[in-house]
Amino acid sequence: MSDGERAASQYDAMAAYYSVNQGGGVCNSHYERPATIGLLGDVNGKDVLEVGCGTGVLTEWLLDHGARVKAFDVSPEMVRIAASRVGGRADLVIANLEQPLSFVADRSVDMVVASLVLHYVRDWAPVFAEFRRILRPGGHVVFSTHHPAMDWKLYSSENYFAVKQVTDTWGKDDWPREVTFWCRPLTAMTETISSAGFLIERLLEPGPTPELASLDPELDQKLRTAPDFLFFKLCAPAAGPADQPQGHWRPPED
């Protein structure tokens, strides 16, 4: 089973849970989403591809702020919920990020946004090559992913540098849900990004919004002392990947 097929099956099973507790939960709305939105800047009039749109919360924000949005997710059930949220205002597609994005033309997009999606994919090189292909010169990628320090602490304490697949269980009580993702070191991220010809404009380890302290003091304290997620803003310069310095990091063989 490919990473995408596994993610589709896991997210189809927990779409209703995710819609209420994760996408609509305080961690996303008072930590992840404000940081991502802060990196996006003005999206008015821009062509945006949203990767792994989930239940469409950010899709709706992008539309409300004037972007033309094409959004996709590998989970049909997540896309169904996103469609019920945004109606026909966005072009919604069921697609796997591991495959070529054949539904997006070369140099047709100003911005790619991927919130908490890339850790579900082991091999980032073809993904960033596709982002480079579809972006107009000067376009941007904004993405959030698991912070390697969090993954190292929680899942892979014996070897920070290992690229390791982990299955965790989200939710308690009547909502236990399995999620399978990849942990990787920071260099694995930055070298793959550089090799694809992107420049890193911003790399953020933000805290939560001030409101989280009263909404969830325990989570607020946790996020003020240790990062859950890492945020990137990348630029696709006019020069092609061949003109960029090539990195040396390669994923280890299985």
Ligand X SMILES: C[S@@+](CC[C@H](N)C(=O)[O-])C[C@H]1O[C@@H](n2cnc3c(N)ncnc32)[C@H](O)[C@@H]1O
Binding site for ligand X (CB under 6 A): 3-4, 7, 11, 23, 28, 52-54, 57-58, 73-75, 78, 96-98, 115-117, 120-121
* Of residues 26 and 237, the one with the C-beta less far from ligand X: 26
Q: Rounded distance, CA 212 to CA 241, Å? A: 41
Closest C-alpha to 65, from 40, 33, 93, 92: 40
- Residue position matching structure tokens 């305080």: 26
* Of residues 115 and 156, the one with the C-beta less far from ligand X: 115
The residues, ordered by sequence, that sit 6+ positions from 182 with a Cβ below 8 Å of its Cβ are: 3, 119, 120, 121, 122, 163, 164, 165, 166
Min. distance of Cβ 219 from ligand X in angstroms?
A: 17
Tokens representing 166 are 């982990």
Amino acid occupying residue 84: S
- Residue position matching structure tokens 């997210």: 11
DSSP state of 251: P
* Of residues 120 and 152, the one with the C-beta less far from ligand X: 120
Q: Rounded distance, CA 55 to CA 23, Å? A: 7
Min. distance of Cβ 97 from ligand X in angstroms?
A: 3
Chain centroid, CA 222 distance in Å: 21
Min. distance of Cβ 237 from ligand X in angstroms?
A: 26
* Of residues 163 and 237, the one with the C-beta less far from ligand X: 163
Min. distance of Cβ 248 from ligand X in angstroms?
A: 26
Min. distance of Cβ 246 from ligand X in angstroms?
A: 26
* Of residues 17 and 161, the one with the C-beta less far from ligand X: 17
Residue nearest ligand X (C-beta atom): 54
